[in-house]
Structure 1
């Protein structure tokens, strides 16, 4: 897939912004659902603790083991919920940074976490493989996550054969190569790299995207230092 030349017109900006809003809404809804699930467990444990207290008020003996279990379960759910919120906060603030340095490995891990529930709903798995090298890339942080998510959706919606998807990256001269690998290959008929939104994002980020049915990979080649003059 080749990049087009020249600045985007108002219609293209409208399409891009609509796609970005939809991406933000989908991730927000998924994460809020995860938080709600953890709150439901906390509420259930809180109810059990209330029952134990009511029992002691009637003269019963407070079972320390059940109390300890309930408090421990609540503590674990609080930690899990806090982790989800912190990751969501990181995701949200990527929109604050128009052009900035991003840690490629950290952002790929962030994608796996914020899209984790959506991957599981497809009964699939996404495994991120860290590169030994620490790579910083200058790009648009929010749109970097967005284009990765669009490619992930293509694979989740029939592009990948089988249930396992691997995600990795490596340095390549003046570029960074991000690679999605479908463990059992690609269904090329469902790998559409000419989606209007994907084309706009690739132009915006100056990304070259390609896929290979033979090797089961979808690659995105990002410039290591995005030229802001191309915006």
Structure 2
């Protein structure tokens, strides 16, 4: 019996090829050859994408969006990791805060958009708040889970060696939860990338979300589809990078 396996990268490419075939079929079957749907075709999108890649303005919008992602993620880490350490280390605090946190977590970040704009105005500040609000929950929950799963023998050893709370936190707790924090970061990046585009429709003048609206207003539909592809590729790359960092940490190099 042949136990040879098909390489994973080949299966992945096959899945992407199947997605492209479905795209082509969707336009071919449900659209008209000379109608509006032709602007969303695979060929028209590829042509616009090639043209976009030669424009410097595309890279400006990408840089602005990535900056917002990293600022939002940084703010979420500043809040989520300390909260996760506190909640994970105290059952009473966990019981007291879980209902409130679960209530807030279930509110879509986009629901806050009108309120945040009224309070902060338009620009980067409301985007940073919404992104941080979206990203803080997976980071906090995974950090708390990491604290609860720490080997109690390590904590007992730290106590027997008369380590202070700060030394225990720095040498035992934080190294023990980094893998969980990285898992939370990966989940947060996926959420951030989804929330980013509608957030960038809040009256800003740069970013991928803004550029999507700009292409729509100019009726440049093939260019719009090309931007959708760019957003997907960038999100895929961010997730792959986060997964690589997590695997490097977990497997020790």
TM-score (norm 2): 0.24
Larger RCO (CA under 8 A, 6+ residues apart): 2
Higher helix share: 2
TM-score (norm 1): 0.25
Higher strand share: 1
